[in-house]
Amino acid sequence: MKIIHISDLQYQASERKDRIGKFINKIIDYYEGVSEKPLIINTGDLVEDALEDEMTEHKIQLQKLANAGFEMLICPGNHDQKKNGYNPQLNNANLTMFSNIFSDLLPQGKHYYSEDENHLLSWPLVHQYGSYFFVGLDSNEGMYNNFSACGKIKRRQLLALNKALNDIEKADSNAVIVVYLHHEPFEYPISTGAPGPYDYQFMKLKQREKLLRILKGRVNVLLFGHNHKFDRRKSREQKWEIDLVLRNAGAIMNIRDNKFAEIDLANDFALKHI
């Protein structure tokens, strides 16, 4: 099974709209004639300012992928909840709006527990494709009214994540497990020298070690975005005993990139940046 990882398209009605359209067409054209399309993992920041019109218009773009035979998993990013990704003038109600607009892009009949939970309000979000399991997280919990781009995963979601991994491990000893979220759960060098939207302390995932202790040695792939670069974090793979750790968030926001990541889960997690 192959998957595609994309993130941080950050739609807005500007020239960015056209770049996203071309990027989506690139994915469709690349797999034209391929009967089994890769599953797309979209790790958040679908839009720029958490506005309903942005979400509605971007949904039309993403629907092109669904119409071309691609299925998609989604988690929210900070830009899907706040203006500019850090201004909390918009409140928690936006997660409901986000779910109402984008949930019907989720695969049908693949939810591990119940199709009644197949929406973007209940986390973790667990889907199953044979022995391949995909666990999505909301890394924006408790940060909706905080003036920053930081993320956090609260205790309830962490407990539910641990339970989900236990359930999968008991059900399938050969399970391949992919975990995806928006915020990078590692420290990374990004600083302008002063606090602000591009400073790590302004963007980090708070209490990230709690998440990593749950994941250590138990999952195969960890995907995230948030920092607008492509980077396989090999040192983190070794430390946390994960086969592939990948940040891929530069396709649109880094105009020199314009690439997506393809991962072959059945072939030693072979990675292509296309």
pLDDT band at 14, cuts 50/70/90?
Answer: confident
| DSSP, residue by residue, 13-58 | TTHHHHHHHHHHHHHHHHTTT-SSPPEEEE-S--BSS--HHHHHHH
Cα dist from 123 to 137, 156, 158, 163, 164, whole Å:
6, 9, 9, 12, 11
Torsion of CA 186, 188, 190, 195, to 10 degrees: 50
Amino acid 147: pLDDT: 85
Concatenating the DSSP letter of every residue in 129-145 gives: ETTEEEEE--TBTT-TT
Q: In the prediction, which pLDDT does 192 show?
A: 47
pLDDT of residue 195: 52
* Distant-in-sequence, close-in-space partners of 151: CB < 8 Å, separation ≥ 6: 78, 139, 140, 141, 143, 181, 182, 183, 204, 205, 206, 226
**Higher-pLDDT residue of 202, 170:** 170
| pLDDT tens digits along 238-266 | 999 999 999 999 899 877 778 999 999 99
Specify the pLDDT at position 196: 53
Give the H or E element holding residue 273.
strand 270-273
Report the distance separating Cα 148 and Cα 151, nearest Å.
9
Residue type, 162: N
Q: Are strands 2-6 and 230-232 parallel, antiparallel or unpaired?
A: unpaired
pLDDT at 22 exceeding the cut of 50: yes
Q: Model confidence over 107-151: pLDDT tens digits?
A: 999 999 999 999 999 999 999 999 999 999 999 987 777 888 899
Instruction: Tell me which long-range contacts 80-85 makes (C-beta under 8 A, separation of at least 24).
Output: 80/44, 80/45, 80/46, 80/47, 80/50, 80/55, 80/140, 81/50, 81/140, 81/143, 81/144, 82/50, 82/144, 82/149, 83/49, 83/50, 84/48, 84/49, 84/197, 85/45, 85/48, 85/149, 85/197
Q: Which CATH number is associated with domain 2-273?
A: 3.60.21.10
